[in-house]
Amino acid sequence: APAQVTLTIDLAHPGSVIEPAVEGQFAENLGRGIYDGIWVGPHSSIPNRNGYRTDVMSALKALHVPVIRWPGGCFADTYDWRDGVGPAARRPKGINTNWGGVTDDNSFGTNEFMDYSEDLGAAAYVSLNLGSLPAYDGRQWVQYMTASGDSALAQERRVNGRDKPWSNLKYVGFGNELWGCGGSMKADYAADLFNRYATFVNPAPGAPAFVKVASGPSDADYAWTDTMMRDAAKQMGAISLHYYTIPGPSWQHKGSATGFSENEWAATLSKASYVNTLIVKHSAIMDKYDPDKKVALYVDEWGTWYDQQPGSHPGFLYQQNTLRDAEVAALTLDIFFRHTDRVKLAAIAQMVNVLQAMVLTDGDKMLLTPTYHVFHMYVPFQGATPYPATISGPRYVEDKYDLPMVDAAAARSTDGKLYLALVNLDPDRAAQVVTGLTGTASGQILTGPKMDTHNTFAAPDTIHPAAYSGRSERGRLTFELPPKSIAVVAIDQK
Ligand code: AHR
């Protein structure tokens, strides 16, 4: 018999709005994330518009991607924006020392990124190089993107084919992982550096303001957050948090993306859920210095990270994506929806062909991953008003992992409808979720026969959402949730 679960939604206590940007994307100049993934150049035989692959572009359009973070990641603190502007043939070739040591012809640079995000209707989030370039370069870069008038940088942008400044530069990151690949700094030094760069890097006169994002902690490095907040909160609009879900015991043994055991399934979901603890604890530190919550917490790198896909290029972080990743995506987004007072942006790592990607490509082929389908099902939550959703029922216990069997999120969308997301974490047991709601409910469900059900280039539509609806039982909306499934429904309450 299915496990009996009760869901209570507290419609009297709405939270602050789910910023669309929590469904944001990270696209680093890494592996085939940019080259091959979104950019093939205008002369490619792969169908493209001005160099951007059209299949990926239309897949991303359907996700209403709210924001894209670029060019890194670790790459950002080695990047000179000057190498990526001007005629493509004259751009110098660089070496991507962080990721595979490959040559980068810089054919995808600032204009290409800004135009792409603009075309997608996404905000642009650029990461400045604080690790290895002076503040002056960051200042110049921002002026290149935002200046109108006849300054030399505005003129240079015009010569490079873009007349008006881009108006979608909403976020600027000041370095990436400054405690590590961004410069191996101590927190005190990083805070001072942030303050110095933030003094000089500002939008051009008349251009829209952007959020200044300080390079924050990884995982449970609470001391980093404390120092940054103590010394630099005044100038920052947000501080970042990076957290990856690694099922294995170490970076050397992260685990396989496919063909894993139930123990690894449970480890992955448990470790993904840990981001809740991280948000709570980092937020508590932020509260000390910023009780009015003016500074946001941006989880601008998150997702699963497995052992490199056998046969893929070392350093390219290419991995398959299964129903397990879809569960991670849904659980994580649900957690973000519970912390809308602080979490105003998040960026999954990464958008295409890298880590927990939305789409994978192989030559002219493309597939949508289970994670893509979750992001698509979750689009109505962008800009919605969340309500506390409490689950009571059995737990999913596997070995030392002990989790609620069902997870839920509820929010009123901008279309006025109440949306419900339901996740069954148990790979073997169905649940019957009884709500206190009346009306009808319909939407989609994502599930599959195996924990690692996934799409391949030979069978790209193995896993995709199916139509789904609730039923009324004694006047109350009730949902049958199969094992290992994710459902999103709109509720018609009339
Ligand atoms: O997303 C891959 C890498 O993970 C990023 O470049 C870095 O910021 C993080 O360590």
Instruction: Give the residue from 308, 206, 204, 205 showing the smallest Cα distance to 253.
Output: 308
The answer to whether residue 451 scores a pLDDT higher than 90 is: yes
Quickly state the pLDDT bin for 368 (edges 50, 70, 90).
Answer: very high
Average pLDDT of span 304-333: 97
Q: Kindly give the distance from the C-alpha atom of residue 390 to the centroid of ligand 1, in angstroms, as a whole number.
A: 34
Q: Kindly give the distance from the C-alpha atom of residue 398 to the centroid of ligand 1, in angstroms, as a whole number.
A: 30
Q: Which amino acid is at 481?
A: L
- Is residue 398 part of the annotated active site? The answer reads no
Q: pLDDT of 371-388, one tens digit each?
A: 999 999 999 999 999 999
Q: pLDDT of 119-165, one tens digit each?
A: 999 999 999 999 999 999 999 999 999 999 999 999 999 999 999 99
Q: What is the CA radius of gyration of the chain?
A: 22
For the chain, helix (H) and strand (E) counts, in that order, are 10, 27
- Length of the chain equals 494
Quickly state the pLDDT bin for 493 (edges 50, 70, 90).
Answer: confident
Average pLDDT of span 20-24: 98
Q: pLDDT of 56-90, one tens digit each?
A: 999 999 999 999 999 999 999 999 999 999 999 99
Quickly state the pLDDT bin for 494 (edges 50, 70, 90).
Answer: low
For the Cβ of 347 lying below 6 angstroms from any atom of ligand 1, the answer is: no
Q: pLDDT of 334-345, one tens digit each?
A: 999 999 999 999
Report residue 231 as tokens: 């010394």
Q: Kindly give the distance from the C-alpha atom of residue 73 to the centroid of ligand 1, in angstroms, as a whole number.
A: 5
Q: Kindly give the distance from the C-alpha atom of residue 314 to the centroid of ligand 1, in angstroms, as a whole number.
A: 15
Q: Which amino acid is at 438?
A: T
The answer to whether residue 489 scores a pLDDT higher than 70 is: yes
Q: Which atom number of ligand 1 is nearest to the Cα of residue 76?
A: 6
For the Cβ of 304 lying below 6 angstroms from any atom of ligand 1, the answer is: no
Rounded CA separation 354/350 (Å): 5
- Residues with Cβ within 8 Å of residue 459, at least 6 apart in sequence: none
Quickly state the pLDDT bin for 27 (edges 50, 70, 90).
Answer: very high
Predicted complex ipTM exceeds 0.90: yes
Rounded CA separation 330/369 (Å): 13
The answer to whether residue 390 scores a pLDDT higher than 90 is: yes
Average pLDDT of span 426-446: 97
Rounded CA separation 491/489 (Å): 6
Residues 225 and 183: beta-carbon distance below 8 Å: no
Residue 342: predicted pLDDT: 98
Residue 106: predicted pLDDT: 98
Rounded CA separation 479/16 (Å): 27
- Is residue 301 part of the annotated active site? The answer reads yes
Dump the DSSP string for 97-133.
TTTTTEEE---S-HHHHHHHHHHHTPEEEEEE--SSS
Q: Which atom number of ligand 1 is nearest to the Cα of residue 180?
A: 10
Rounded CA separation 202/236 (Å): 12
**Catalytic position from the list 28, 112, 177, 327:** 177
Give the mean pLDDT of the chain: 97
For the Cβ of 77 lying below 6 angstroms from any atom of ligand 1, the answer is: no
For 360, counting Cβ atoms within 10 Å of its Cβ (0-12 exposed, 13-18 middle, 19+ buried), the class is buried
Q: Are strands 395-398 and 359-362 parallel, antiparallel or unpaired?
A: unpaired
- Which domains, from first to last, does the chain contain? 3-10+387-492 (2.60.40.1180), 20-383 (3.20.20.80)
Residue 483: predicted pLDDT: 98
Average pLDDT of span 442-455: 98
